[in-house]
Amino acid sequence: MRQQEESHIMENIIYNELITRGYNVDVGMVEIKKQDKDGKWIRVQLEVDFIANLGSKKYYVQSALSIPDREKEIQESRSLTNINDSFKKVIVVKEHIMPRRNEDGILTIGLFDFLLKEDSLDM
């Protein structure tokens, strides 16, 4: 029997919902520069799970099973905070939460809200 990872299943659910809503969906990469342990500047690529386009609308969407603490929130939003445009950035988590926006304007919503509310990306 093939092993199923919960995070991959959730990503597939989000991808399929975006396609069903008519979006063109791509995976994105953001390149940042940071210092390594020796102080040398290196380039690091961060993945954006989904870039969803529909006409003039564009959304950057990350999938996370949970964000239990500030450290995990920083990790999950790192690629999104390094995108230098004004399109909406969203993190979808598995648990049922009240939608919230952080200081960088990134919306975090629960999977059920994302799936059941057609305009969930525009909250």
**pTM (2 decimals)?**
0.90
Q: pLDDT tens across 38-55, in order?
A: 888 989 899 999 999 999
Give the per-residue pLDDT at 1.
Answer: 47
Q: Please tell me the predicted confidence (pLDDT) of residue 2.
A: 55
Q: Please provide residue 70's backbone torsions phi and psi, each rounded to the nearest 5 degrees.
A: -60, -40
pLDDT digits (tens, 9 = 90+) for 71-95: 999 999 999 999 999 999 999 999 9
Tell me the average pLDDT of the chain: 92
Return d(Cα 23, Cα 109) in angstroms, integer. 19
**Is the pLDDT confidence value at 32 over 90?**
no
Measure the CA–CA gap between 114 and 42, rounded to whole angstroms. 36
pLDDT of residue 55: 94
Higher pLDDT, 12 or 123: 12
